[in-house]
Amino acid sequence: MSKNFKILLFFFLCLNFASSSNAQYLENNPKPSQRVFYGGDLGFSFGYSTYISVNPIVGYRITNRLSSGIGLNYTFAKSNYYGYIGNMFGGNIFASFTIVKDLGNIISFYQGSGILFYAEYNLMDVSHYYSVPGREVKYVASPMAGFAFQSPIGGRSYLLMMILYNFNETSISPYPNPVFKFSYQF
């Protein structure tokens, strides 16, 4: 079984699990405190390269379809292949726009779920992880954009499964293409 097939199978299973819950979008005139959301993601990868990341976020629902926010990033990384070990710190700003608010209107199985356009600008301090002979590398910028599947997991909680493209993928970029992210919002 190929690696890509396993990733797609995992993504499909997550879609089906998450869509079994139901949540409601904000009412027509929510209070400003109801528009604030928190969340983030935990990530890990083990093997020849090990990555462990913690990425909390805070955001604001500007409208029922448009959200924006900021986040912090921390990644521990170790590469047995290159002999690197270190920590990366950074932050990001993001925005999302809901293209399809309720997939249940199209496919009843996905009641309350939506499709979003998602964009993020991520800046990571990689100076403690990468060393490039002849030049000092301090920060790596990763502008990313793509689509997300948003599925309710409670009254105001959502699971987001994203596939993004890193427009600045380099040999020292912490995000190789395609970028898969699984995030929670509360």
HSE-CB for 164 with a 13 A CA cutoff: 28
Range of the domain at 28: 3-185
57 alpha carbon, distance to own chain's centre: 10
Q: Is 16 helix (H, G, I), strand (E, B) or coil?
A: helix
CB 178 within 8 A of CB 163: yes
81 alpha carbon, distance to own chain's centre: 26
Tally of structural domains, the chain: 1
CATH number at residue 131: 2.40.160.20
Neighbour tally for 121: CB within 10 Å: 16
Mean pLDDT (whole number) for 47-69: 89
Residue closest to 185 by CA, chosen among 82, 36, 83, 81: 36
Instruction: Specify the pLDDT at position 58.
Output: 96
**Strand blocks (E) in 27-157:** 36-45, 49-61, 66-79, 84-100, 114-125, 139-152
One-letter amino acid at 54 equals V
Q: What pLDDT, in 10s, does the model give residues 133-184?
A: 666 778 889 999 999 998 888 777 889 999 999 999 887 777 788 888 888 8
Mean pLDDT of the chain: 78
Mean pLDDT (whole number) for 47-76: 90
Instruction: Specify the pLDDT at position 148.
Output: 93
Instruction: Specify the pLDDT at position 16.
Output: 41
> Where does the pLDDT of residue 2 fall: very low under 50, low under 70, confident under 90, or very high at 90 and above?
very low
Q: What pLDDT, in 10s, does the model give residues 94-147?
A: 999 999 877 767 777 677 788 899 999 999 988 766 665 666 778 889 999 999
